[in-house]
Structure 1
Amino acid sequence: MAEALALTDVAFRWPGRAGFGLSVPGWRVAAGARLLLLGESGSGKSTLLSLICGINRPDRGRVEVDGTDLGALGSTRRDRVRAERIGVVFQQFNLLPYASPTDNICLPLRFAPERRQRAEAAGRGGARAEARRLMTALKLPEEAIDAPRAGLLSVGQQQRIAVARALIGAPPLLIADEPTSALDAGSQDAFLDLLFTQCEAAGTTLIMVSHDDRLAPRFDDAIRLEDIATIQRTGFAA
């Protein structure tokens, strides 16, 4: 079975943070999976995500996204792979408040020509048409889609703009960092239904990070960070 993500013998220590390191002996995520990664605050989730996204290189081992070893690449090529192959839904959304919803969604395409081509082909009217299609599929009302600034939208609407931005151009891997933390149970279910539907339509693998194990039944699989990774707080083995 094809793999969207593979970590092998990975070890990393934050520079200047004596004693804080993370190691992952081996972890595989199949293409098309819907995986929930559970971990409490301070458990190393952010460190792991920085390695998966290629923001940081491992000190040892391999981090492969869609078959590409990120650790073997220089910073410029890692940035390109991240832009082309990974969509991210940040916990705080990280939208540009004075840009329109469509401009926010299309922003990643400025740094990813192959992803732009996929978006333009899917939209049948260019990338902006695809952005509008995604917003409609995510149940945004017309007045939100046509809003002049994303900062005018509600939190729930901004959340869906952030999802559309992560999905545009059908990246092979989508990372969602605590996207349901501010939602009640009913809103969580509705949001996950939309997210799953769009990931399946795009053929995108989903890894959602959360501290809420009540979400586990909605996913193909749920694992705890401590089951795949070890934190070294008092020393680091090279």
Structure 2
Amino acid sequence: MQVGDAVLALSKVAYRWPGRTAFSLTVPDLSVAKGESVLLLGESGSGKSTLLSLICGTVLPDRGTVKVAGTNIAGLSGAARDRFRAEQIGVIFQQFNLLPFGSVVDNILLPLRFAPERRARAGHAASEAANLCTALGLPTDITQAKANTLSVGQQQRVAVARALIGQPPLIVADEPTSALDANSQVAFLDLLFAQTATHGTSLLMVSHDPRLGERFDRVISMEDIALIERAAA
């Protein structure tokens, strides 16, 4: 894979959390190609959350580059990183992070408030939100329902629609299947892959479950790409 083909590219990245329980993470090289689905495996404490924070620009590396869609986000100001993240990265959180008293459509459209280019790509945003709901198997009349009235499965699909709207080039999913049984996991991944394939979206999904690997183009483990160091107590 050429560097120009990478939607996500980390090079010589190092980061150290400050404090008494000092923790450092070094990632010499990590890349995800356009349209590629990658499963990142790691146990609790392996640095997965730190790595996702670096990819999303919520923390900055002490050295190295983190490029998303060709832009080194480590070189952006805080406000610029926030805007860039909203434009270029769709995030599916483990706990969904929906606004409980907001409607389904309000939750789906939330990222577009901070991302004018992504909003433009969505076209008629409310219609696109409704189309995504349909594609994800949600009832046609659900868009005005409050998020706190939805089942867990419905909340999860709304979270996926929120990540997909406006076609960001990269989707980052943090343990989105951890609370699902096997059948629900299969159904969820079917929907997620169908939508990312439609738009040529790259997917980086974090999990501790290696059984999911056969669904992805590539499987990598934290121990293979990262070096973790912890200060002695």
What TM-score comes out, normalization by structure 2 length? 0.96
Separation (CA, whole Å) in 2 of partners of 1:144 and 1:109: 20
CA contact (8 A) 2:14 2:62 kept: yes
- Counterpart of 1:145 in 2: which secondary structure? coil
Aligned partner of 2:135 in structure 1 is: 137
Aligned partner of 2:81 in structure 1 is: 78
Aligned partner of 1:94 in structure 2 is: 97
- Counterpart of 2:142 in 1: which secondary structure? helix
Residue 23 (1) aligns with residue 26 (2): yes
Aligned partner of 2:16 in structure 1 is: 13
Aligned partner of 2:190 in structure 1 is: 193
Query: Would you identify which runs of 4 or more consecutive aligned residues in structure 1 move more than 2 Å?
Result: 15-19, 142-146
Deviation of the 1:138 alpha carbon: 0.1
Aligned partner of 2:224 in structure 1 is: 227
Separation (CA, whole Å) in 2 of partners of 1:74 and 1:108: 19
CA contact (8 A) 2:36 2:203 kept: yes
CA contact (8 A) 1:144 1:157 kept: no
Query: What letter matches 1:79 in structure 2?
Result: D
Deviation of the 1:146 alpha carbon: 3.7
Aligned partner of 1:207 in structure 2 is: 204
RMSD over equivalenced CA pairs, Å: 1.1
Deviation of the 1:144 alpha carbon: 3.0
* More displaced stretch, 149-158 vs 137-146: 137-146
Query: What letter matches 1:145 in structure 2?
Result: T
Which structure 2 residue ranges, 5 or more long, are not aligned?
none
Separation (CA, whole Å) in 1 of partners of 2:220 and 2:205: 11
Deviation of the 1:40 alpha carbon: 0.7
- Counterpart of 1:91 in 2: which secondary structure? coil
Deviation of the 1:232 alpha carbon: 1.1
Aligned partner of 2:36 in structure 1 is: 33
Aligned partner of 1:168 in structure 2 is: 165
* More displaced stretch, 184-193 vs 138-147: 138-147
Query: What letter matches 2:50 in structure 1?
Result: T
Which deviations, in whole Å up to 9, do the C-alpha atoms of 1:146-170 show, x marking residues without a partner? 42x1110000000000000000000
What TM-score comes out, normalization by structure 1 length? 0.94
Equivalences, count: 229
CA contact (8 A) 1:106 1:131 kept: yes
Which deviations, in whole Å up to 9, do the C-alpha atoms of 1:48-80 show, x marking residues without a partner? 000000001100000000100011111111111
Separation (CA, whole Å) in 1 of partners of 2:130 and 2:140: 10
Separation (CA, whole Å) in 2 of partners of 1:198 and 1:61: 32
- Counterpart of 1:21 in 2: which secondary structure? strand
Deviation of the 1:17 alpha carbon: 4.6
Aligned partner of 2:58 in structure 1 is: 55
- Identity %, equivalent residues: 65
Which deviations, in whole Å up to 9, do the C-alpha atoms of 1:80-113 show, x marking residues without a partner? 1101000000000000010100000000000000
Which deviations, in whole Å up to 9, do the C-alpha atoms of 1:5-60 show, x marking residues without a partner? 11110000113254311000111111110110001111111000000000011000
Query: What letter matches 1:16 in structure 2?
Result: G
Deviation of the 1:186 alpha carbon: 1.2
* More displaced stretch, 66-75 vs 137-146: 137-146
**CA separation of 1:99 and 1:59: change in aligned 2, threshold 3 A:** same
Separation (CA, whole Å) in 1 of partners of 2:221 and 2:133: 32
CA contact (8 A) 1:89 1:177 kept: yes
CA contact (8 A) 2:92 2:163 kept: yes
Aligned partner of 2:213 in structure 1 is: 216
Q: Where do 1:141-152 residues align within 5 Å?
A: 141-147=139-145, 149-152=146-149
Separation (CA, whole Å) in 2 of partners of 1:153 and 1:19: 40
